[in-house]
């Protein structure tokens, strides 16, 4: 999979969605993430790669508004102007607003795909209710429309729409992950955070899921921050990469440049460990 072409990169004149400045969240020396800076543009997929423990998930949690940083600032440029800071029109300081507004943001403009679908689904209610729930949270109450959206999204993620009334606990791991993706994307979020979306699945299931995700990212023009330790996943889905080691970014750049010609010794090691069996 490492030799598939990367997705075509969006126009860098597209507006900035997220500005990340000097973000630090440390649990101990080198444990967590430290002094992270980047800008994400609309339609861009940024992959965060590095070995286990390098701080990828910590950074993602901070970016997604789930865990406050020790220092630094995350600025989001919301579509819904009413979400922006009263003092700065069009900007939102993620940790300068209260929990309720951060939750509203996750509901209205953002989406989150967890590695373990059980963390993102309600296992006891039907597949259709899982998909409809986020729409209902946006005020959609029409049963027929919710059901139609459920069927449509089950098809889009290549699930059998006949199973709309089945509970996710009767689905395989790969199917549950597809359902979590449908539940997340049904509201058409502008920005999606994904933490190892194909982790823990069989290789053949992973490959099909990746192809589907790649198609959806392209079709919907999604902006994504993707955490993965798997460079093949990063290659297929990301326009740009940050390589993390012990909480810090050691290299940043276009995906094909980093994977074909890594400059930092650690990135070289990561790439060579995939290429040499």
Ligand X SMILES: Nc1ncnc2c1ncn2[C@@H]1O[C@H](COP(=O)(O)OP(=O)(O)OP(=O)(O)O)[C@@H](O)[C@H]1O
Residues that bind ligand X (CB under 6 A): 27, 31-32, 50, 52-58, 229
On whether the CB atoms of residues 81 and 90 are closer than 8 A, the answer is yes
Identity of the residue, 56 or 134, whose beta carbon is nearer to ligand X in the bound complex: 56
> What is the nearest approach in angstroms of ligand X to the Cβ of residue 15?
29
CA distance 30 to 174: 34
Contact assessment for residue 237 and residue 224, using Cβ atoms and an 8 Å cutoff: yes
Comparing CB distances to ligand X, the nearer of 24 and 57 is: 57
Q: Which is nearer to ligand X, 62 or 164 (CB)?
A: 62
Residue 80 phi, psi dihedral angles, 5° rounding: -80, 105
In 138-202, which residue ranges form alpha helices assigned H by DSSP?
143-156, 173-185
Nearer to ligand X, 92 or 252 (CB): 252
Name the one residue in this structure whose structure tokens are 């995350």. Answer: 74
Q: Nearer Cβ to ligand X, position 40 or 60?
A: 60
Nearest distance from C-beta of residue 199 to ligand X, angstroms: 8
Strands 223-227 and 45-49: parallel
Shortest Cβ 67–ligand X spacing (Å): 8
Least separation in angstroms between CB 32 and ligand X? 5
Nearer to ligand X, 50 or 132 (CB): 50
Tell me how crowded residue 229 is: count the other CB atoms within 10 A of its CB. 17
**3-state class (DSSP) for residue 32:** strand
Residue whose CB is less far from ligand X, 59 or 182: 59
Q: Please, are residues 250 and 37 in contact by the beta-carbon 8 Å criterion?
A: no
Smallest distance, ligand X to C-beta of residue 245, A: 9
Give the residue among 101, 98, 104, 79 at the shortest CA–CA distance from 90: 79
How many helices (H) and strands (E) the chain has is answered by 10, 10
**Smallest distance, Å, CB 189 to ligand X?**
22
Taking the complex as a whole, the smallest distance from the CB of residue 101 to ligand X amounts, in Å, to 24
SS3 at position 224: strand
| CB contact at 8 A, 249 and 242 | yes
**Closer to ligand X by Cβ: residue 163 or 229:** 229
Distance of closest approach, residue 51 Cβ to ligand X, in angstroms: 7
Torsion of CA 212, 213, 217, 218, to 10 degrees: -30
Cβ–Cβ under 8 Å, residues 112 and 64:
yes
């Amino acid at each position: 999979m490492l030799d598939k072409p990367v997705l075509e990169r969006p126009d860098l004149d597209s507006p900035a969605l997220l500005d990340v400045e000097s973000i630090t969240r440390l649990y101990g020396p080198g444990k967590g993430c430290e002094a992270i800076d980047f800008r994400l543009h609309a339609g861009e997929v940024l992959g965060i790669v590095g070995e286990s423990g390098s701080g990828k998930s910590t950074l993602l949690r901070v970016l997604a508004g789930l865990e406050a940083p020790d220092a630094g600032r995350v600025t989001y440029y919301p579509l819904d102007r009413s979400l922006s800071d009263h003092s700065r029109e069009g900007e939102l300081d993620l940790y300068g607003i209260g929990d309720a507004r951060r939750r509203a943001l996750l509901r209205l403009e953002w989406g989150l795909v967890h590695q373990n679908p059980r963390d993102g689904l309600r296992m006891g209610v039907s597949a259709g209710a899982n998909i409809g729930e986020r729409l209902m949270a946006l005020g959609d109450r029409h049963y027929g429309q919710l059901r139609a959206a459920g069927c449509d999204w089950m098809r889009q993620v290549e699930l059998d729409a006949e199973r709309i009334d089945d509970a996710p606990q009767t689905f395989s791991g790969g199917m549950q992950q597809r359902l979590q993706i449908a539940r997340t994307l049904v509201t058409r979020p502008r920005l999606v955070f994904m933490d190892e979306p194909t982790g823990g699945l069989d290789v053949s299931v992973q490959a099909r899921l990746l192809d589907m995700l790649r198609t959806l990212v392209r079709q919907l023009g999604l902006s994504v921050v993707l955490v993965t330790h798997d460079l093949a996943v990063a290659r297929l889905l990301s326009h740009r990469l940050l390589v993390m080691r012990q909480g810090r970014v050691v290299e940043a750049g276009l995906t094909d440049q980093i994977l074909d010609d890594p400059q930092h010794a650690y990135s070289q090691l990561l790439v060579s460990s995939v290429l040499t069996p």
